[in-house]
C-alpha cells in the first residue's frame, strides 16, 4: 500500500496550482497529485498554529503519493520562493472518511446505491455505522413524482472509512449518484518523516 502525504502550500492557490501543473508536466509523473479542494476534502484538522497561518494568507492543500511527494517538496523548496510559495506543513495521511445519507423512491436506484457504496468497497475500505430503512405502501401507487406519498422509500446513512485512494473512489461514486448526499472527506494524519 502506497503512503500518501498531505502538503499544505502557503501562498496564492492559483500560483500553487500553476506550479503543480508545471511540476507534473516537467516530471512526467502525470496527474497523480490531488487538489484537496477539487476532491471535496476538508483540511480543517490542522494544529492551531498552522490554522492561524492559513487564516492570514492564501493556501492550497494537495495530496501526493510517496513516490511523487518527495520530488514535489524538493521542487517547492528550490523554486517555490520565486512564485511566493512555501511549504506550510507535510503530514502522512493514515486514513480518510466521509459520511453519507440517501433518500430514494425507486427500488432500482436503491439497489444501485447499495452496490456502489456498501456492497463493493475497494480493498482497505469499509462502511461503518450503516443503517437503512425501507418503507413500502401499496396504496400509494400512481404518478409518484406528483404525490406526497410513495409506494417505496429507501433511507440509508453510514460512514465510509479506510485508505485514501479507496475512500476517494467511493466518494466519487457517491457524488455521481442522484439522491446521495456525501459529506466532505476528513483526513486522519500523523507527523510525516518526509521533510522539504
Spatial separation of the C-alpha atoms in residues 184 and 97, rounded to whole Å: 8
Instruction: Determine the pLDDT at residue 43.
Output: 74
pLDDT band at 49 (very low <50, low <70, confident <90, very high): very low
Return the higher-pLDDT residue of 146 and 107: 107
Q: What is the mean pLDDT of the chain?
A: 86
Spatial separation of the C-alpha atoms in residues 155 and 122, rounded to whole Å: 23
Distances in Å between the Cα of 172 and the Cα atoms of 13, 57, 150, 156, 182 are: 23, 30, 28, 18, 9
How do residues 155-188 score in pLDDT, each as one tens digit? Answer: 999 999 999 999 999 999 999 998 999 999 999 9
Residue 194, pLDDT > 70, answer yes
pLDDT band at 45 (very low <50, low <70, confident <90, very high): low
Spatial separation of the C-alpha atoms in residues 58 and 183, rounded to whole Å: 24
Q: Which of 17-29 are b and which e, b meaning 16 or more Cβ less than 10 Å from the residue's Cβ? A: bebbeebbeeeeb
In 3D space, the residue among 160, 180, 178 whose CA is nearest the CA of residue 169 turns out to be 160
Residues 11 and 84: beta-carbon distance below 8 Å: yes
Residue 52, pLDDT > 90, answer no
Instruction: Determine the pLDDT at residue 116.
Output: 95
Other Cβ atoms closer than 10 A to 193: 9
Instruction: Determine the pLDDT at residue 141.
Output: 59
Q: What domains are defined for the chain? A: 4-94 (3.30.70), 96-187 (3.30.70.260)
How do residues 86-127 score in pLDDT, each as one tens digit? Answer: 998 899 999 999 999 999 988 999 999 999 999 999 999 999
Rounded average pLDDT over 128-140: 86
Rg (CA), the chain: 21
Instruction: Determine the pLDDT at residue 160.
Output: 98
Residues 164 and 4: beta-carbon distance below 8 Å: yes
pLDDT band at 66 (very low <50, low <70, confident <90, very high): very high
Please give the helix or strand (H or E) that residue 18 lies within, else none: helix 13-27
Rounded average pLDDT over 43-62: 61
Amino acid at each position: 500500500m502506497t503512503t500518501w502525504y498531505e502538503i499544505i502550500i502557503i501562498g496564492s492557490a492559483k500560483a500553487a496550482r500553476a506550479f503543480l501543473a508545471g511540476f507534473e508536466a516537467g516530471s512526467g509523473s502525470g496527474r497523480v497529485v490531488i487538489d484537496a479542494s477539487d476532491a471535496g476534502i476538508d483540511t480543517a484538522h490542522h494544529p492551531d498554529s498552522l490554522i492561524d497561518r492559513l487564516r492570514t494568507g492564501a493556501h492550497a492543500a494537495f495530496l501526493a503519493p510517496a513516490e511523487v511527494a518527495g520530488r514535489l517538496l524538493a521542487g517547492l523548496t528550490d523554486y517555490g520562493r520565486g512564485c511566493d510559495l512555501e511549504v506550510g506543513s507535510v503530514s502522512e495521511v493514515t486514513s480518510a472518511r466521509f459520511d453519507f445519507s440517501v433518500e430514494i423512491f425507486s427500488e432500482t436506484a436503491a439497489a444501485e446505491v447499495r452496490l456502489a457504496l456498501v456492497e463493493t468497497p475497494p480493498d482497505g475500505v469499509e462502511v461503518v455505522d450503516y443503517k437503512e430503512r425501507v418503507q413500502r405502501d401499496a396504496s400509494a401507487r400512481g404518478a409518484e413524482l406528483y404525490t406526497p406519498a410513495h409506494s417505496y422509500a429507501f433511507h440509508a446513512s453510514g460512514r465510509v472509512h479506510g485508505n485514501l485512494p479507496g475512500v476517494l473512489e467511493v466518494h466519487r461514486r457517491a457524488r455521481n449518484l442522484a439522491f446521495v448526499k456525501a459529506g466532505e472527506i476528513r483526513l486522519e494524519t500523523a507527523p510525516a518523516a518526509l521533510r522539504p
